Amino acid sequence: MTMSADPFAAPRAANGRAPDVFKRGGWMPMRQFSDAEIVDFAVVGTGAGGGPLLAGLAENGFSVVGFDAGPYFRPLEDFASDEREQDKLYWTNERVVDGANPITMGGKNSGRAVGGSAEIRDLAMVSRIEMGSDGRATGVHYHREGRWRFQKARNVVVAGYAIETPRLLFASATDRFPDGLANSSGLVGKNLMTQSNQAVFGVMEQEVRWNKGPPSLSITEHWNYDDRKDFAGGYCWMAQGPLPVEWATVQTGSRGLWGQRLRDEMEKYNHQVGLKMVGEMLPDERNRVTLADDKDQYGLRVARVTYSWGDNDKALIQHALGQMQTSLEAVGATDIFRQENDTNHLAGTARMGDDPATSVVNADCHSWDIPNLWVCDGSVFPTTGGVNPSLTITSIAMRTADRIHALSARGEL
């Protein structure tokens, strides 16, 4: 089998092998199951939650199949050293956004590839989870080779992150579960959180060339721990060096600069400096994911994402902007401006807890309502912190794999 030159053209994880991402043109063996075989776990999503969980389950002897809506990229061959190359990793399909502070979906918070947002196995888009008459999941319906197919599974794990996880749970509603799967609490889709991602930028007299280092050149987490503040939660901020295309987008989007004014501003690029925050925004049931009437290319209803900042969120953001501006002024920056409306990582919508009435899953990421359904991604966060969430999601996935192994050993699955 010749590797597809276009990762979007055909699945690369097929015929018993998958790409070896560490070797140009290399392959590695992959266990493949037919539709007729019953696997122990079908895992929907292969990002920071689903990917480590798949590995952990397989290492513990379970048969597993992973599903992802995006391609299986070969990093050494499919990417160039170019700012726009990463765009193909993003989930840019239609989503309806509304609320007082609509979230910009895509590059910063949604991945569509094997590895999910963590890339930033090509298998298939899962349309729904099939439920048996006994209230247990029997497998997943997925799209491949131009038709819908069905993979039987003893357990199903949803790991599609904060938007696609509730979308799938809602789309899988049945007569027995009319409000969506795992939703006896009514909290599926609710308590969506994002992280504030505002910034302050300025100009230095000397040349800086801020794009020569990694995006987060230095970092402080002081305000994650200092209690001298009039808001709950915390934030960190870091030195920022956006590449030219992103910087031009900041100028057109945040400052409304076009034409000669934009050209003049871009000429200062090598003298720019900036600081950008990652802030903790609080859970609020009014911030949520539901299903819109609009449909995607598969005929499935797309997600509606509703978001508004609360008073605490606004206070945290203003505090951070003030701190960042003071810091830039202290080093002699001029022409300072604030980027006041930006957000980043997502969390929430299938929260973890110790009470079925106030949460969707328990501490093992196990659905309270359906004995063989699990949710394992950033959607289980009851709150989100003032730091990037990927390592926490991965840790939860590794713990969940261990807990499943322990439950199985005791005959409790």
Out of 76-90, 276-290, 291-305, least confident range:
76-90
**Encoded tokens for 405:** 């192994």
Do 200 and 114 lie in one domain? The reply is no
Q: Are residues 154 and 298 in the same domain?
A: no
d(CA 176, CA 158): 19
Flag whether 44 is in a domain.
yes
Please check whether residue 11 lies inside any domain of the structure: no
- Tens digit of each residue's pLDDT (9 = 90 or more) over 52-85: 999 999 999 999 999 988 888 888 888 878 888 8
Place of tokens 């999503």: 45
Angle between helices 390-409 and 50-59 in degrees, nearest 10 = 30
Query: Could you tell me if residue 3 is inside a domain?
Result: no
Which candidate, 168, 193, 192, places its Cα nearest to that of 180? 168
- Residue 165 sits in a domain whose CATH number is 3.50.50.60
In a domain, 5, yes or no: no
Q: Decide if 87 is inside a domain.
A: yes
Residues 171 and 28 in one domain: yes
Residue 114 and residue 75 share a domain: yes
Q: Give, rounded to a whole angstrom, the gap between the first and last alpha carbons of the chain.
A: 39
- Distance from C-alpha of 270 to C-alpha of 201, rounded to nearest angstrom: 13
Structurally, how many domains does the chain consist of?
2
Average pLDDT, the chain: 91
My answer on whether 26 and 76 are in the same domain is: yes
User: Does 23 lie in the same domain as 123?
Assistant: yes
Q: Do 336 and 383 have their domain in common?
A: no
Which residue has better confidence, 106 or 32? Answer: 32
Q: What is the pLDDT of residues 214-246, one digit of tens each?
A: 777 788 999 988 888 899 999 999 998 888 998
Same domain assignment for residues 90 and 168: yes
Q: Are residues 174 and 206 in the same domain?
A: no
Determine the pLDDT at residue 361: 98
Q: Going edge to edge, which strands form the sheet with 96-98?
A: 96-98, 301-306, 288-295
What percent of the chain shows pLDDT beyond 70? Answer: 95
pLDDT for 367-411, tens place per residue? 999 999 999 999 999 999 888 899 999 999 999 999 999 999 999
Q: CA-to-CA distance for 121 and 271, rounded, in angstroms?
A: 42
Q: Looking at the predicted structure, is the pLDDT value of residue 90 above 50?
A: yes
Residue 402 lies in a domain: yes
CB atoms within 10 A of CB 254: 17
Spatial separation of the C-alpha atoms in residues 153 and 42, rounded to whole Å: 6
39 pLDDT above the threshold of 80: yes
Give residue-wise pLDDT tens across range 299-327. 899 999 999 999 999 999 999 999 999 99
Q: SS3 of 375, please?
A: strand
User: Does residue 119 carry a pLDDT above 70?
Assistant: no
What is residue 4's predicted lDDT score, i.e. its pLDDT?
57
Is residue 317 included in any domain, yes or no?
yes
Cβ–Cβ < 8 Å for 137, 28: no
> Nearest-5° angle of CA 383, CA 388, CA 390?
90
Residues 6+ apart with CB under 8 A from 408: 60, 62
| Residue 207 φ/ψ, nearest 5 degrees | -70, 135
| Same domain as 341, residue 282 | yes
pLDDT at residue 122, rounded to an integer: 43
Give the SS3 label for residue 248.
helix
| The last residue of a domain, from among 322, 345, 368 | 345
Which residues have C-beta within 8 Å of that of residue 256, sequence separation ≥ 6? none
Percent pLDDT > 90 in the chain is 67
- pLDDT value for 76: 87
> What integer pLDDT is reported at residue 120 of this predicted model?
42
The reply to whether 312 and 355 lie within a common domain is no
pLDDT tens-digit profile of 143-167? Answer: 876 678 899 999 999 999 999 999 9
Is 202 in contact with 292 (CB distance < 8 Å)?
no
Show the domain range for 227.
Answer: 193-345
Residues 145, 206 within the same domain: no
On the CB side of 238, CA atoms within 13 Å amount to 18
